Chain A
Amino acid sequence: MAEARTLTPTADDRRIAALAALAVTIHLAEAALPSPLPGFKPGLANVITVAALFLWGWSTAAWVTALRVLVGGLLLGTFLSPTFALSAGGAVASLAALAVAVRLPATGPLGASILAAMAHTTGQFLVAWWLFIPHPDLPLLLPPLLTLAVIAGTVSGTIATVVVNGLRRE
């Protein structure tokens, strides 16, 4: 008989699972809320990603985001749909921005969050451009979308700052 083997989740695994669960919950709640503008979401789940980045590092943040996009997509029924491609494109771009942001001098969750939000919008925009509608007038949407991204990034960055400071406990 083959030797029975047990997979023991590490503390990291448990933490990532808990954070991803929080992020998925926010993701779902946001999807259920009526959006002030079609195609726009405040992206509050990013609070969890940014907090994870500053408290536990980039790979935790990347895991949490990947799980959120995957599980969120499965639960909302958008998995592998165009919406999912947009979501994934935004997530990859914002994780790339966060990898840069965490190395910037004297920069905390607020700046990182703003960069991530703008990268997210830009990433989504590029995916939309390449995959769906390469219409020459599409860039006209960038000013309003990026304005909303900066506002949303500032709001979620402020929340992330509070969360990080609250969890850090001197």
Chain B
Amino acid sequence: MSEGLFEGRNGSRAPRPGDWTILLVAGALVTALWLGGPAGQGSRAEVRVEDTVVARLDLRQPGTYTIDGRLGPSVLEVADGAVRFVDSACSSHRCVASGAHRHAGEVAACLPNRVTVAVRGGRGGYDTLHY
């Protein structure tokens, strides 16, 4: 490799005002994105059995609901703006163990009983991240 190979034509000195401006604007933009980003409080829960929506629950109204799934009843409870499974006709009770869900986009499911509950309304948040 000859000496002259990397001889430049024009160049610049170390960071100039424009560089700092870009860094500041980029930082501000990213901050704004974070602040405007996720995740909102959900306002309602959509209950499905298989693919059919069987109920829409208002998360601001506490109550207990019994949903008939494929195996039997699933009991849902709405309290403090969140929805959770309190019982279900399955053996593992993973749905109950998943706890209360209040953020838009969150989903609880009792797969054996084919019952899912999705929190809707407000801005969506992360449900899961995968690559």
Chain A interface (Cβ < 8 Å from any Cβ of B): 11, 14-15, 18, 38-39, 54-57, 101, 104-111, 114-115, 118, 136-137, 140-143, 146-147, 150, 153-154, 157, 161, 164-165, 167-169
Contacts and interface: CB of A to CB of B under 8 A. Distances in A.
A109 B129 CA distance: 33
Contact of B22 (A57, A114, A165): A114
Given A118-B26, A137-B127, A150-B27, A15 B14 contact: no
The CB with the most chain A CB atoms within 10 A, among B1, B15, B127, is that of B15
Among B26, B33, B37, the one with the most A-chain Cβ atoms within 10 Å of its Cβ is: B26
Nearest 8 A/B pairs, CB to CB: A107-B18, A55-B8, A111-B22, A108-B12, A168-B11, A111-B19, A106-B18, A110-B19
B91 interface: no
How would you classify the secondary structure of chain B's contact residues: helix, strand, loop or mixed? loop
A111 B25 CA distance: 10
A110 B26 CA distance: 12
Given A105-B18, A141-B129, 8 more contacts: A18-B1, A38-B131, A56-B9, A104-B22, A114-B23, A143-B37, A150-B26, A161-B12
Interface of B: 1, 4-23, 26-27, 29-30, 33-34, 37-38, 105, 124-127, 129, 131
Given A111-B21, A111-B22, A147-B34, A106 B16 contact: yes
Given A137-B105, A154-B23, A108 B13 contact: yes
8 contacts: A15-B5, A114-B22, A114-B26, A147-B34, A154-B23, A164-B11, A168-B8, A169-B7
Given A55-B10, A114-B26, A137-B127, A107 B16 contact: yes
Nearest to A164: B11
Contacts of A108: 12-16, 18-19
Contact of B23 (A11, A111, A136): A111
B5 A14 contact: yes
Contacts of B124: 136-137, 140
B9 A111 contact: no
Contacts of A101: 22
Contacts of B4: 11
B30 A146 contact: yes
Contacts of B21: 107, 111
Contacts of A114: 19, 22-23, 26
Contacts of B131: 38-39
A148 B125 CA distance: 20
Contacts of B7: 167, 169
Contacts of A161: 12, 14-15
